[in-house]
Amino acid sequence: MTAPLRVIVWNEHRHEKINPLVASIYPGGIHETIAGALREADFQVGTATLDEPEHGLSQEVLSSTAVLIWWGHMAHHEVSDEVVERVYRRVLDGMGLIVLHSAHFSKIFRRLMGTSCDLKWREAGEKERLWVVEPGHPIAAGLGEYIELQGEEMYGERFDIPTPDTLVFLSWFPGGEVFRSGCCYQRGRGKVFYFRPGHETYPTYHQLQIRQVLVNAVRWAAPVDGPSPVFGNTQPLEPL
């Protein structure tokens, strides 16, 4: 039997402290609700938040983390560049990264994408229908043809990201917009998955299909025990 995957759920954990509605939906913080979904799947799950020393992401913690999940919104600028650099290097070295909802504007996601990651948005409690557009992908395992959320914030195209390696979900909103809401990337040896739903005033991370996506995404993003890359000046393997 192999050791369980070590996952860290990172959350800036600010809305929960200042908005009673958010606190009532996520009493232990968004990170605890997500961690609960992952613990049910037998991962070894820890959490980390912005206000901890080094945001809870010391080199030691990151070195032993297989997959990092990131939720942030109002305090992206408070995340230290040193920690961002540390996470970036771990992703290039093979750690999986799952970026949720408003973390499209996080320093780490913009660094990995190299674009503005800007988008359209509207807060009107709209229904969201996420179509599974790549049904054979591991992140779609166990899902139906689509997922419906009865109330969510709208995100609309253009979403200023590089074209995903694989697009797993495409969202539709009643106002007419669409959005690439499940985007897979490879960066170095690491895998990155952006997943759109999860505005803090809706119970999105309590919904079963959303929890299934997060579990699937952790499995997909887990590091692979492949060869370490070799760079620089090199001797020929055959006589020249």
| 180 contacts Zn ion (rule: CB under 5 A) | no
Look at phi and psi of residue 64 and say left if phi exceeds 0, alpha if psi is from -120 to 50, else beta: alpha
Tokens 């699937």, residue located: 216
Question: Does the footprint of Zn ion cover residue 128 (CB under 5 A)?
Answer: no
Per the listing, tokens 């797993």 go with 168
The nearest distance, CB 102 to Zn ion, in angstroms, is 4
Phi, psi angles (nearest 5°) of residue 182: -145, 95
Query: Of 16, 128, 152, 153, which one interacts with Zn ion (CB under 5 A)?
Result: 153
Q: Which residues inside 97-116 make contact with Zn ion, applying CB under 5 A?
A: 102
Q: Does 211 bind Zn ion (CB under 5 A)?
A: no
Q: Does 199 bind Zn ion (CB under 5 A)?
A: yes
Best CA proximity match to 187, nearest among 94, 103, 120:
94
196 binds Zn ion (CB under 5 A): no
Residue closer to Zn ion by CB (options 49, 102) is 102
Shortest spacing between CB 123 and Zn ion, in angstroms: 7
204 makes contact with Zn ion (CB under 5 A): no
Contact residues: Zn ion, CB under 5 A:
102, 153, 199
